[in-house]
Amino acid sequence: MLKKPWLYAGVFFWTLKGNNLNHLTSILNYFLFYLVITYLSPISIFAQSSDWSEAKRKNGIVVKLREYEGSDVKEFLGTVEIESTQSQVFSLLSDVDSCKYLYFNCKELQVLSQGIKKSIVYIRNGAPWPVSDRDVIVERIADQNEKTKTVTIKLKKIEYPTKPPPSGVTRMDRFEAVWKIGSSDGKKIRIEYQAHFEPGGSIPQSVINLAITDTPMNTMLNLQKAIEEGKFKDTRVEWIKD
Please write the tens of the pLDDT for every residue from 48-76: 557 999 999 999 999 999 999 999 999 99
pLDDT at residue 157 is higher than 50: yes
Please write the tens of the pLDDT for every residue from 190-221: 999 999 999 999 898 888 988 999 999 999 99
pLDDT at residue 8 is higher than 90: no
The whole model's pTM is what? 0.79
Closest by Cα among 98, 123, 140 to 226 = 98
Q: Which residue has the higher pLDDT, 42 or 114?
A: 114
Q: Which residues, at least 6 apart from 90, have a Cβ–Cβ distance to it below 8 Å?
A: 142, 151, 153, 181, 237, 240
For residues 192-221, one letter each, b for 16 or more C-beta atoms within 10 angstroms of the residue's C-beta and e for the rest, the string is bbbbbbbbbeebeeeebeebbbebbbbbbb
Give the integer Cα–Cα distance in Å for 176 and 198: 9
